[in-house]
Amino acid sequence: MQLSTQLTKRLNIDYPIIQAGMAGSTTPELVAAVCNAGGLGMIGAGYFDGEKLESEIDVVKDLTTKPFAVNLFVPSNNEIDNGLVEHMQAWLKPYRKAFNLEEPVVNITEQQQFEQAIDIIINKQVPIVAFTFGIPDQEIITKLKAHHITLLGTATSVDEAKANEAAGIDIVVAQGSEAGGHRGSFIDTSNNGALVGTMSLVPQIVDNVSIPVVAAGGIMDGRGLIASMALGAQAVQMGTAFLTTLESGANNVLRDAILHSKETDTVVTPVFSGKPARGIDNEFIHEMNNYDDTIPSYPIQNQLTNAIRKAAAQKGDADMTHLWSGQSPRLAQAVSVDDLMQHILNQSKKVLQ
Amino acid sequence: MQLSTQLTKRLNIDYPIIQAGMAGSTTPELVAAVCNAGGLGMIGAGYFDGEKLESEIDVVKDLTTKPFAVNLFVPSNNEIDNGLVEHMQAWLKPYRKAFNLEEPVVNITEQQQFEQAIDIIINKQVPIVAFTFGIPDQEIITKLKAHHITLLGTATSVDEAKANEAAGIDIVVAQGSEAGGHRGSFIDTSNNGALVGTMSLVPQIVDNVSIPVVAAGGIMDGRGLIASMALGAQAVQMGTAFLTTLESGANNVLRDAILHSKETDTVVTPVFSGKPARGIDNEFIHEMNNYDDTIPSYPIQNQLTNAIRKAAAQKGDADMTHLWSGQSPRLAQAVSVDDLMQHILNQSKKVLQ
C-alpha cells in the first residue's frame, strides 16, 4: 500500500491528509501548518463574509506557498418563518438574559455571500474549493472549472456521492457517521441525515463512483489513515484531530471538552444551527430537547443561538455552547500540527510493517 | 501486515475471520463451512433450548474437525410486567388475526436455559464460547476456564470492553454501530445503546485493554478485514456477509431484503425483541413507532412478536418480520461460504499490495 496516490498527485500534496474545513475553528496558521507539513489545509469559510474570506486567504498565502483549499456551505435557500422565529426567540430569552445579550435580527444572505465567495476564490486563484451541504448550481461549477479550480464535494450516502459525480465534482468526501460537526447530508436528510459508519460508507461509495473518494469520520491517526486507504479511499479528511492542535481556532472550552470526553459522549443534534451536527452532549441540548415546536432551519437557528454560544464559550461555560467532536475524542491530542502529522506518518509506517 | 496473529494461533484458525453468532440464522452447515474454510464458525444459540443446542453441536462436529464456537445471550434478568404485556398483546391483536395466530404465553426461562447451555458446552468440549448482552457471573467464568474454554465477550464502548477484561474474558469483540442485529450494549444502554462507528470504536478499545480485540460492524470483504487490522484488531467478526451465503439459515425474505437494500435503509429499533437491534426499516417498525407505552423488555417482547414474524417470513411478507442487516448491504453476496472466504482473502492480498 502506498501513501502517494493519484489524488495526492492531483492535489499536489505529499501525504493523503486533508484538514476538514471546520467553519469557526480554522485559522490561517492551522491551514498553513497543515500545508507546510505536506497535507492539505482548508479555510473553513462557511460563516465568513467577503472581507473576512479575502483577508484569511491573504494571510494563508503569506504563511505557505503550498496549495490550500477553501470550504464553503452551499446555500440552503430556506425561508424565514416568522412564527417559528418568534417562538424560538421567546424560548431563548432566559439564555440571553443570563449572558446579558440583545435579541438578534435574523436575515438570509447565504446566496449572495456564497456567490461573492466564489468570485473571491477565482480572483485570488485558490486552487481547491470544497463544498458542504450540497452541490452548487451548474453555472458555478462551470465557472470554477473554467478557472482550473479543483472541486471537492461531501456525501453521507452513495446517492449523494453519485449526485456529486454527476454534477462534475472532481473528488468526493465520504462523511461517515463518526464525524464531528455538521452532517453534510443534502439528499438523505430525514432523521438527522444519513448516519452510516465510515467502515460501511467508504467501500460502498468507492464501488459506485469513479471519482476519487476521501474518507472522513473517526479518523485520528495512522491507524485510521491506513484503514481508510484499505477501504479504497485515496485520502482522509480529519477534523477533530486538528481541532485540538495548538494552531487551531477552537476555544478553550471546546478543546478541554474534547480532550476529556469518551467515545460515547457525543450526539447528533440540530439544536444549535438548525442543521444536524455531532457534538458532545450538554445541558443546552438537553433543554432544547424539551422544545415543543419545530426548530427554525439553518441558517436562522444558527443566528438565533450564535451570540449565546459565543458568550458561553468566553465565560468558560461548556453547557451553553456547541462542542463539535467526532466519536474518537480519546484519540485527540493537544500538540502542534507538525507533531500530529509526524505521529500520523510514523504510525502509518508501523501499521504497514 | 500479517493475517496470522497471536489470536489466530490462540483460536487455532488459519484466518482472522469469525462468523458472528447470529441467533436464529446459523446452521451447522454454515458453522462447519466457515471452520473448514479456515475461519471460526459460531453456533448462534441465543434462542436454543438444551436439546437443540446439543443436536446442533453434534451435527457441527460431524461436519468439521476444526474448532468452533457457541454464542450465548447472557440473561438480562428482567421481570414480567403484566400491565405492559397486556397492553402489547392488545396492540398486536390485529397482527395475530392477520396471520391466524393464538396469543402466546410469556415466560422467563433465560437463566436456567443459560446455565444448561454452559453445562452442555463443557460436556461437549466446545473450545470457544462467545457472550452477547453482558458478562456472565464469575462462577460461570471460573467454571468455563477450569475446562480450558476460551471466552469471547462483546463491547459497544470502551467501558464495556474494560468490564469484559476485568471479568477475565479472554477476547473482546468491538461491535461498531454499523453492525446488524442486536446491539451488545450492557453498560451504555440508554438511547438504543452506544452507537459508536467501527472506525472510532476499535482503536479506542485497543488503546484501553490488553486482551485481543476483534472488530465488528460494516466489515464485508478484504477491504474491511485489512482496515480492521490496521485499526489494531487481531481479527474481524462478520455477520451480514455470512447471512446471505448459501449455507446460512436466513429465510428468503431476509436474504432478498439484504441483497436489495441500500446503506441508508437500516435503523436501530427495540420493537421486535425488546432490545435494540439494527435491521432494514419496514412497516412493522413504522407502526410500532406509534405505540404509546413502554415496549416490554427482552425476552418478553421477543416472545410476543415471535410467531408474527415467523408467519410473515413464511408468507414472504417483508413488512411484518425483522430484517436484521448491518449498514453494508450493497456489499452482500449470494455465494457459498467457500467463495466468500476466497473472495475476502484474495481482496486482502490485493489491498496489501
B176 closest CB neighbour out of A158, A199, A208: A199
- Over residues A93-130, the pLDDT tens digits come to 999 999 999 999 999 889 999 999 999 999 999 999 99
- Grid coordinates representing B59? 451435527
Separation between Cα atoms, residue B326 and residue B258, nearest integer Å: 9
Provide the pLDDT confidence category of residue A67 given band limits of 50, 70 and 90: very high
Cross-strand bridge partners of residue B40: B18
The pLDDT of residue B43 is: 98
Whether residues A203 and B331 touch (CB distance < 8 A) is answered with yes
Separation between Cα atoms, residue A215 and residue A238, nearest integer Å: 9
Provide the pLDDT confidence category of residue A77 given band limits of 50, 70 and 90: confident
- Over residues B184-201, the pLDDT tens digits come to 999 999 888 899 999 999
Whether residues A201 and B326 touch (CB distance < 8 A) is answered with no
Provide the pLDDT confidence category of residue A163 given band limits of 50, 70 and 90: very high
> For cell 400491565, what's the residue?
B83
Contacts of A234 (CB under 8 A, 6+ apart): A5, A6, A7, A8, A16, A212, A213, A214
- Over residues A289-319, the pLDDT tens digits come to 999 999 999 999 999 999 999 999 999 999 9
- Over residues B306-327, the pLDDT tens digits come to 999 999 999 999 999 999 999 9
Compute the nearest-CA separation of B220 from chain A (Å). Answer: 9
Q: What is the ipTM of this complex?
A: 0.97
Residues of B at the A interface, defined by Cβ within 8 angstroms: 1, 157-159, 176-178, 188, 194-201, 203-204, 207-208, 217-221, 223-224, 226-228, 230-232, 262-264, 326-328, 330-331, 351-353
Whether residues B224 and A327 touch (CB distance < 8 A) is answered with no
The pLDDT of residue A172 is: 98
> For cell 415466560, what's the residue?
B107
Q: Say if CB A75 and CB A111 are below 8 A apart.
A: yes
Provide the pLDDT confidence category of residue A193 given band limits of 50, 70 and 90: confident
Contacts of B331 in chain A (CB under 8 A): 203-204, 207
Provide the pLDDT confidence category of residue A157 given band limits of 50, 70 and 90: very high
The pLDDT of residue B110 is: 92
Task: Give the per-residue SS3 of chain B.
Answer: CCCCCHHHHHHCCCCCEEECCCCCCCCHHHHHHHHHCCCECEEECCCCCHHHHHHHHHHHHHHCCCCCEEEEECCCCCCCCHHHHHHHHHHHHHHHHHHCCCCCCCCCCHHHHHHHHHHHHHHCCCCEEEEECCCCCHHHHHHHHHCCCEEEEEECCHHHHHHHHHCCCCEEEEECCCCCEECCCCCCCCCCCCCCCHHHHHHHHHCCCCCCEEEECCCCCHHHHHHHHHCCCCEEEECHHHHCCCCCCCCHHHHHHHHCCCCCCEEEECCCCCCCEEEECCHHHHHHCCCCCCCCCCCHHHHHHHHHHHHHHHCCCCCCCCCECCCCHHHCCCCCHHHHHHHHHHHHHHHHC
Q: Say if CB A199 and CB A176 are below 8 A apart.
A: yes
The pLDDT of residue B279 is: 98
Whether residues B263 and A157 touch (CB distance < 8 A) is answered with yes
Separation between Cα atoms, residue A49 and residue B147, nearest integer Å: 70
Of B352 and A192, which is predicted with more confidence?
B352
- Over residues B39-68, the pLDDT tens digits come to 999 999 999 999 999 999 999 999 999 999
Compute the nearest-CA separation of A198 from chain B (Å). Answer: 6
A224 closest CB neighbour out of B188, B199, B208: B199
Contacts of A188 in chain B (CB under 8 A): 264
Separation between Cα atoms, residue B168 and residue A55, nearest integer Å: 58
Whether residues A224 and B203 touch (CB distance < 8 A) is answered with yes
Between the alpha carbon of residue B130 and those of residues A314, B23, B69, B179, B229, the distances in Å are 49, 12, 7, 16, 21
- Over residues B74-105, the pLDDT tens digits come to 998 889 999 999 999 999 999 999 999 999 99
Compute the nearest-CA separation of B294 from chain A (Å). Answer: 19
The residue of chain A nearest to residue B351, with distances taken between CA atoms, is A230
Helical (H) or strand (E) element with A279: strand A277-280
The pLDDT of residue A303 is: 97
A192: left (phi over 0), alpha (psi -120 to 50) or beta: left
Whether residues B197 and A198 touch (CB distance < 8 A) is answered with yes
Give A273's DSSP letter.
T
Separation between Cα atoms, residue B251 and residue A325, nearest integer Å: 41
A227 closest CB neighbour out of B194, B221, B231: B231
The pLDDT of residue B36 is: 98
> For cell 457441527, what's the residue?
B60
Above pLDDT 90, what percent of chain A?
A: 96
Q: Is A42 helix (H, G, I), strand (E, B) or coil?
A: strand
Q: How many contacts, defined by CB atoms under 8 Å, are there between A and B?
A: 147
**For chain B, what is the mean pLDDT?**
97
Q: Say if CB A22 and CB A258 are below 8 A apart.
A: no
**For chain A, what is the mean pLDDT?**
97
Whether residues B159 and A262 touch (CB distance < 8 A) is answered with yes
- Grid coordinates representing A127? 486552487
Biggest alpha carbon distance in chain A? 61
A262 closest CB neighbour out of B158, B227, B231: B158
Residues of A at the B interface, defined by Cβ within 8 angstroms: 1, 157-159, 176-178, 188, 194-201, 203-204, 207-208, 217-221, 223-224, 226-228, 230-232, 262-264, 326-328, 330-331, 351-353
Q: Say if CB A347 and CB A221 are below 8 A apart.
A: yes
Between the alpha carbon of residue A39 and those of residues A42, A121, A217, A338, the distances in Å are 10, 20, 17, 10
B143-155: average pLDDT: 98
The residue of chain A nearest to residue B347, with distances taken between CA atoms, is A230
A221-246: average pLDDT: 98
Q: Is the pLDDT of residue A192 over 90?
A: no
The residue of chain A nearest to residue B216, with distances taken between CA atoms, is A199
A165-169: average pLDDT: 98
Sheet holding A69-73, edge to edge: A17-19, A235-238, A213-216, A171-175, A150-155, A128-132, A69-73, A42-44
- Over residues B205-255, the pLDDT tens digits come to 999 999 999 999 999 999 999 999 999 999 999 999 999 999 999 999 999
Q: Say if CB B164 and CB B153 are below 8 A apart.
A: yes
> For cell 463574509, what's the residue?
A49
Contacts of B194 in chain A (CB under 8 A): 263-264
Separation between Cα atoms, residue B118 and residue A330, nearest integer Å: 36
A247-262: average pLDDT: 98
Between the alpha carbon of residue A41 and those of residues A18, A226, A270, A327, B225, the distances in Å are 6, 20, 27, 22, 30
Cα angle: B23, vertex B24, B30; to 5 degrees = 85
Between the alpha carbon of residue A323 and those of residues A184, A258, B199, the distances in Å are 17, 8, 21
